[in-house]
A and B are shown apart, each in its own frame.
Chain A
Amino acid sequence: MQEFAQQTLSGIASGSLFAILALAIVLIYRSTSVLNFAQGEMAMFTTFIAWSFMTRMDFWLAFALAILVSAAIGAALERLVLRPVEHAPALNSVIVTLGLFTIFNGLALWIWGAQPKGFGPFSVFKGDPICTADVCIGRLNVGILVVSFIVMALLYVLFQRTRLGLAMRATAENRLASQLVGIPVGNMLTLGWALSAGVGAVAGVLVAQSVSLTTSSLFAILLYAFAAAVLGGLNSPPGAIAGGLIIGVSKNWAATYVPSEVGNVDLTLAFAMIVTVLMIRPTGLFGRPPARRV
């Protein structure tokens, strides 16, 4: 029982990393209907920026600056490379984000090299694991979960309680109608990318403290984050967090309880579960099915 509780808690810990990046993916999908494959690399890139700020200033200040820089990069990308493909087939924007993926990866490799950088844990995230009874969880993982919930709550307030959020939701729902009622649709899309890149930077700086900072450190996590976002439902921020935690926990259970003679099947079981869930709820656990129209 004690082992089960500990494995579950470790699963939650690794799931928290998937959850926060999934949140950024959901945010961009919700506001622009683009699946951004470059999300992880953009987050990695801004984490490197934060790392180079950190030699000169305090962690929290560098963190805040990195978020701002990241948001600016996100907004510029939307304006420069995504808007021109807006009217092209939907797959084109996917290819553009794949192109951005290799650009950011290549740039980071060129500027900062392939050597892993020591990165944190910093400030409140540092210290002994938090233990109750006989199970423990890392301080950083608790911190990531807390930040995820704060980000989710802020997004909820933004989307459901402000005029700006209403305009963003309207833009995602029906672009032409939003334009007709006077919403500056273009600016809403730019804002969506800026917000999502900002959340991505938060995710990057937090996740890198747990996996050390290299140019490839966020890629594996991004893959799970995608799965988490889809499992939870691509338009639901709480779904992203739930999806991340479910994947983390189920992957850990599979790794612990499937006998090693069978082979390594943690991924397979986690994904089999995702596909099963999708078969029953085709738009994810918390996703709202889109209206079907011609």
Chain B
Amino acid sequence: MTSLRLPGIRIFWLALLGVVLVLFPFFHSWPVFDQFISEFRTFNATMFSVWLLVVLSMNLLTGYSGQISLGHAAVVLIGAFTTAILSDRANIPMPLAIALAGLFTGLVGGVVIGIPAVRLSGPYLAIATFALVLSLPQILKLEGLNNWTNGALGIRIRDLQPPGFVDGYLDKGEWLYYVTMATAVFMTIVFWNLTHSRIGRAFVALRDSEIGAEQMGVNVPLYKALAFGLSSFYAGIAGGLFFMVQAFVGPESLGFFESILFLVAIVIGGLGSVLGSIFGALFLTFQTEAIDRLGDVVAEARNLRGVIYGAALVTTMLLFPRGFAGAVQALQSAGPAGLWRGIRDRVQSLAELAGRLGERQAEQPAPPRRPGPPDGGQDGS
């Protein structure tokens, strides 16, 4: 990483994206735009930035480095609580508190989770992280820590005002939007550079084959701990922003359920890419609203929330095995027709599977359905 490079998208689109991001909080007050963008969308966009950092952090760990975590929400929560304690109890200014929380969380993640992770892998690692997310609320509520964490009540921001120089130009929501969005954009560019550097390639080597990476001279324990440390740094910053935007954090603000959502987000979005992380963050931002909207249209959908949600997850995995980012890549390389062909093939093979369900076929092994290298080894066993 000699110098910071911008991702290789065409400069025009990048500039357009920049303009949209800068003007976004004002869209709701413009004619025409106000038809479909309400003021609430500014808050959506603010949360999107926070979720983007969370998804990037999770993607760095799982999508790039292949370490599965079921407890990522705990890491974000550590960042949020550190920020809360630093700003509320020690009166450190918010931006500095968030930066310090990022560093602290990175250190905790690298040492407390990263070092055990050197010895554990696959489901065993997943359960160790799962242990963290279930234990953290109990730890935060310990009597001895009450002076810092305020126990089960959590910490609320008493008074947070935008700095004086934006007075009269931006209200609080708009200011929060710019702070989080700018942080997210900057950290996304850093992320892109990081994953295209020597470190990023070492992570990918680690994911694809630990032994292979070892043979190629990657210091496996070091890079595993580094993956946890860097990912936790991102999660810590995201947690700090989460606290600032929500103005509150409690021991149960983020738990096992959110950890699972983060995992779903990176897979649905697309593993191991920035584009996939953006899709994942969109998923996190809009998933509840999407189902609520469906409930407005079809009344029965309200009672079937879980079923629709699950069916959407399963269908996405069946039709887009590499997430939405994978679908976009297929669109780029093979065009709309190619993307459609891929989906149609998968639907057809599904229908075939359903059709064969009742038949007996014990006499002969099923031939591999798709041409290409047969899947010899299997994961983890």
Residues of A within 8 A of B (CB): 29, 33, 35, 76, 79-81, 83-92, 94-96, 98-107, 109-110, 172-176, 179, 182-187, 223, 226-227, 230, 234-235, 261-268, 271-272, 274-275, 278-279, 282-284, 290, 292-294
With A84-B350, A185-B366, A268-B138 as given contacts, are A98 and B313 in contact (CB-CB < 8 Å)? yes
Contact of B309 with A106 in the complex, beta carbons under 8 Å:
yes
Could you write out 7 A-B pairs with CB less than 8 Å apart?
A: A84-B350, A105-B310, A175-B376, A183-B365, A184-B364, A184-B365, A230-B124
Q: Which of B264-317 touch A at CB < 8 Å?
A: 264, 267-268, 271, 303-314, 317
Residues of A within 8 A of B361 (CB): 184, 186-187
Q: Are B318 and A81 in contact (CB under 8 A)?
A: yes
A278→B264 contact, CB < 8 A: no
**Closest Cβ neighbor of A172 among chain B residues:** B381
| Chain A residue with the shortest CB-CB distance to B303 | A110
Which B residues lie within 8 Å of A103 (CB)?
306-307, 310-311, 314
Q: In angstroms, how far is the closest chain B Cβ from the Cβ of A266?
A: 8
Question: What band does the interface of chain B fall in when counting residues whose beta carbon is under 8 Å from A?
Answer: 35 or more
Q: Which residue of B lies closest to A89 (CB)?
A: B271
Per the 8 Å Cβ criterion, residues 160-219 of B in contact with A are 209-212, 215
Q: Are A279 and B307 in touch, CB under 8 angstroms?
A: no
CB distance from A65 to the nearest CB of B (A): 20
Inter-chain contact A294/B141, CB cutoff 8 Å? no
> In whole angstroms, what is the CA distance A263 to B312 when docked?
41
Given known A-B contacts A186-B366, A262-B142, A271-B134, A227 and B314 have beta carbons under 8 A apart:
no
Q: A33 contacts which chain B residues (CB < 8 A)?
A: 378-381
Docked Cα-Cα span, A279 to B120, in Å, equals 7
Whether B376 pairs with A176 at a CB distance below 8 angstroms is yes
Say yes or no: B318 contacts A226, CB within 8 Å: no
Minimum Cβ distance to chain B for residue A40 (Å): 13
Which residues 89-145 of B sit at the A interface, judged by CB distance below 8 A? 116, 119-121, 123-124, 126-128, 130-132, 134-135, 138-139, 141-144
What DSSP secondary structure best describes chain B's contact surface? helix
A267 pairs with B138, CB closer than 8 A: yes
Alpha-carbon distance A102/B353, docked complex (angstroms): 23
Taking a contact as CB atoms under 8 Å apart, the answer to whether B321 and A29 are in contact is: no
Q: Is B29 in contact with chain A by the CB < 8 A criterion? A: no
Q: Which residues of B contact A96 (CB under 8 A)?
A: 313-314, 317-318
B309 pairs with A84, CB closer than 8 A: no
Question: Which A residues are CB-close (under 8 A) to B309?
Answer: 99, 102, 106
Which residues in B have their C-beta under 8 angstroms from that of A284? 124
CB pair A99 B211 closer than 8 Å:
no
List chain B residues, Cβ under 8 A from A290. 380-381
CB pair B303 A230 closer than 8 Å:
no
Central interface residue in B143, B256, B263, B313, by most chain A CB within 10 Å: B313
B307, A106: Cβ atoms under 8 Å? yes
Neighbouring B residues of A81 by C-beta, 8 Å: 314, 318
Which A residues are in CB contact (< 8 Å) with B127? 226-227, 230, 274, 278
Cβ contacts under 8 Å, A271 to chain B: 131-132, 134-135
- Decide if A235 touches B381 in the complex (CB within 8 Å): yes
Residue pair B268, A227 in contact (C-beta under 8 Å): no
Given A103-B310, A175-B378, A227-B131, A84 contacting B116 (CB threshold 8 A): no
Chain B residue numbers with a CB within 8 Å of A235 are: 381
Q: Which of B123, B128, B304, B374 has the most CB of A within 10 A?
A: B123
Question: Which listed residue (A89, A95, A264, A278) contacts B138, Cβ 8 A?
Answer: A264
- Is the beta-carbon distance between A92 and B317 smaller than 8 angstroms? yes
Known: A106-B305, A185-B365, A275-B128. A230 touches B123 (CB 8 A): yes
* A176 contact from B68, B135, B374, Cβ within 8 A: B374
Q: Do the beta carbons of B321 and A282 come within 8 Å of each other? A: no
Query: What residue of chain B has the Cβ atom nearest to residue A102's Cβ?
Result: B310
Do A274 and B131 have beta carbons less than 8 Å apart? yes
